[in-house]
Structures are given as structure tokens and as C-alpha cells.
Amino acid sequence: MMRRPIRFLGALTAFAAVAGAVAIVAGNEAARAADRDEKAYKIANFPIEAKAENAVAAKKIAIADGQSAALRSLLKRIVPVSAYARLRQMAEVDAAQYVEGISVRGEQNSATEYFASLDFKFSADGVRDLLRQNGVPFIDTQAPQTTLVPVVIGADGTLQGSAGAWSKIWNSLDVANALTPLSVSELRPTLHQDVLRGLAEGDDARGMRILAAEYGGSLVVVASAEVDAAQQRLKVSVMGRDATGPINWSRAYRIYDGDSAYAMELAAVVTLGVLEGRWKAAQARQSGGIAAMSQPDSDVRVEVLFDGARDWYRMQSELSGLNGVRDFRVNAVSARSADVSMAYPGGGAGLANALARQGYQMTDSGGRWVLRQRF
């Protein structure tokens, strides 16, 4: 009769060990996710230039102006387009106080001019505080990486095996640190025009099966560029699936003075902005909209209830990865519950609203927040 309690206690001990191990693994994953999100605060390969009475003065001016311009680029990267107007109130912000580091990729100068390509690393916490103080919503969670395949459609309508300038332009952009990071890949010989035609006509299932098989993942988009020399127009189409879902988007650009390379550069920048905008819109909906994201962060302590280690691992991963959650900590884990704390815009009420859209029930039980798993 005494063996059953002993086995029961042994099972509890084993579960506690598993739960602790799961908490450590999940905590490590949360830390890695935080590191990925910090990449969004790096503006790489940023061109700067200035002219002054001497090269030293020109360099000083170029770096100062570059810091301000790079910060503006960063803010537009992480702030939803619908909140861009709020950035005007921060026009006079001293960008230098938010810069953590600068590295030089290349530079050259003359007696009076300075040119360089720099990487700017901004303080994630500093920029977040700046935006919160000004009531500006932001999204700095990077999307899962998408493979982007640049292709050029020739005058005869065939795909060109080498995208040439179009591919070089994409590789020159800061796609690794974008909110929607991209891996630029070459066109595979087995991909034919009929695949793109099918995607353009709405045959997403077949086209995506082919792209996934060729590039080893479900997140693949093809960015095609087609020059209409007679009309002096560049047509760019993006087809496939990114982290937000299926995409089939096109836009035409005017080519001025026959400079198709400039039109391609503009098109690539706009296209990257579209991909980031889709991701930001999806994340804003998940967090309860722009108004909810504008609220100040408040600390929240939650008792998480679950049925087993697998449920706890899933809930911990979804909680720590929820857009807007900061400083997620696991204070204690038992066989059926965990004590966690975090910071979230709008505090417990804001977190409860966001989790309700994910199918969770979070209630205020006498000043103590309790979260139950979804069913």
C-alpha cells in the first residue's frame, strides 16, 4: 500500500525535473528571440556623405547627419505606417544618444569631401523608451525569414537565369535586419514561366508546392521585374507566400531618362516596405490594434495553469513570443502551474485582451491574474 504514494511522489519529481528543463529550454528560446528582435535596431550598409572646408570636418558632419537619417529609417521600419504622423514630434531628437555602435564598411575622402557606408547599431531599450514616452506604437518583432527570388522577365516574356542589376540591388539592401528578413536566392533552372503565370492567376497551391520543393521552405516569394522600353515603365510583381500569408502584388514605376537601374532600386525599397507593412499590420491586429499598442508598459504577474509539460512549453512559448511582451520571466514552475511575470502595454487588462484573441482566458482573481490554456 505504501508503494503507490512513493510512485506518485516519484512521478511528481520527474515532472518537476521535466518542467524545469522545459522552462530552461523555453527561456533560452525566448532569449534567442530577443536577440533576433534586437537585429531590427541595426541599420546596415547606410550611405553617408558631406562636404566641408576639410575632410575631418566633412567626416564629422557626415556621421552626425547619417545618425539622424539612420534613426529616421529605423523608426519608419518599426512604426506602423498609420502612426508615421506621430514621428514628427520627434524631429529634433538627438540621434547620437541612441547609437550604441558604428562600424565602417567602406570609406573614401578628398580634401573637402567624405563618403562612407556605415552600420549603425541603436539601443533597443533607448529607442523603445523614446517611442513609449511619445505615445508612438511600434513593432520590433522580426518575422520568420522568407526566401526572395529576384527574376527579370525579358522582352520576349521569358525568365532570365541571371537577374543582373535587379539581383544586385536586392543583395545591397539591409534585408537581414529588416522587420521581414529575407534570404536572396537565385532563380533555379527548373522554375519556368508557367509557375509564375500560375501564381499570378491565383494558382497558389501548385505554385507554392513547386517553390517550397525548390527552395526548401514554405516562405518563398518571387519578385519579378519587367522593363517596358517603349512605355518607359518598370513593372514589378511579388508572388508567393511570406510570413503574413499569400501575396500577389504588382506596381509600375516610371523610368526617367532611360535609367532603369534607378527605377529598380526604388522598386526594391518600396517592395521591402510593403512586406514590412504587411507584417506590422498583422502584428498590430494580434496586439489589439494601434491604440492598444500606444499604451505605456506595465508589469504583470500571472499564474499560468496547464495540464502537463507539453502544454506548459506551448503556453510559455506563445506568451514570451506575443508581440508587445517585454522582460518575460519564469519565477517558478510546478506540476500544474507556473508563476511568470512580464511587461505589457496596458498591463494585465491589455494582456488579457490580446490573449483572448488567441483563445486564452485570463482573469483577475482578487488582484491576481490567472491564465488558463485554450481549448
Q: How far apart are CA 174 and CA 74, in angstroms?
A: 11
Q: How far apart are CA 53 and CA 110, in angstroms?
A: 11
Task: With a cut of 70, say whether residue 2 has pLDDT above it.
Answer: no
Residue type, 132: R
Q: How far apart are CA 352 and CA 316, in angstroms?
A: 15
Label residue 1 by pLDDT band (50, 70, 90). Answer: very low
Query: Crossing angle of helices 124-133/55-78, nearest 10°?
Result: 60
Q: What is the mean pLDDT of residues 51-75?
A: 95
Number of Cβ atoms within 10 Å of the Cβ of 127: 21
Task: Give the distance, in angstroms, between the CA of residue 153 and the centroid of all CA atoms in the same chain.
Answer: 29
Check residue 262 and give its pLDDT.
94
Label residue 144 by pLDDT band (50, 70, 90). Answer: very high
Cell of 353: 485582451
Task: With a cut of 80, say whether residue 295 has pLDDT above it.
Answer: no
Task: With a cut of 80, say whether residue 25 has pLDDT above it.
Answer: no
Number of Cβ atoms within 10 Å of the Cβ of 96: 11
Number of Cβ atoms within 10 Å of the Cβ of 85: 9
Q: How far apart are CA 160 and CA 152, in angstroms?
A: 6
Check residue 36 and give its pLDDT.
53
Q: How far apart are CA 195 and CA 30, in angstroms?
A: 38
Check residue 285 and give its pLDDT.
80
Kind and range of the H or E run holding 360 = none
Contact (Cβ atoms closer than 8 angstroms) between residue 122 and residue 74: yes
Please tell me the number of Cα atoms within 13 Å of 92 on its side-chain side.
1
Return phi, psi of residue 100, to 5°: -95, -30
Task: Please give the class, per CATH, of domain 146-286.
Answer: alpha beta
Among 347, 355, 243, CA closest to 288: 355
DSSP 205: H
Return phi, psi of residue 34, to 5°: -65, -40
Check residue 287 and give its pLDDT.
72
Using a 10 angstrom Cβ sphere, with 0-12 exposed, 13-18 middle and 19 or more buried, the burial of residue 91 is exposed
Between 95 and 163, the higher pLDDT residue? 95
Contact (Cβ atoms closer than 8 angstroms) between residue 304 and residue 330: no
**Could you tell me how many residues make up the chain?**
375
Q: How far apart are CA 254 and CA 126, in angstroms?
A: 40
Using a 10 angstrom Cβ sphere, with 0-12 exposed, 13-18 middle and 19 or more buried, the burial of residue 1 is exposed
Residues 320-375 have pLDDT tens digits of 888 778 889 999 999 899 999 998 887 888 888 888 877 888 888 877 899 987 65
Strand intervals (E) in the chain: 42-51, 99-109, 113-122, 146-153, 159-160, 182-184, 220-228, 233-242, 245-254, 297-305, 326-333, 337-345, 361-364, 369-372
Q: What is the mean pLDDT of residues 40-64?
A: 95
Max Cα–Cα distance, the chain, nearest Å: 93
Among 243, 233, 40, 218, CA closest to 123: 40
Residues 174-199 have pLDDT tens digits of 999 999 999 999 988 888 788 888 88
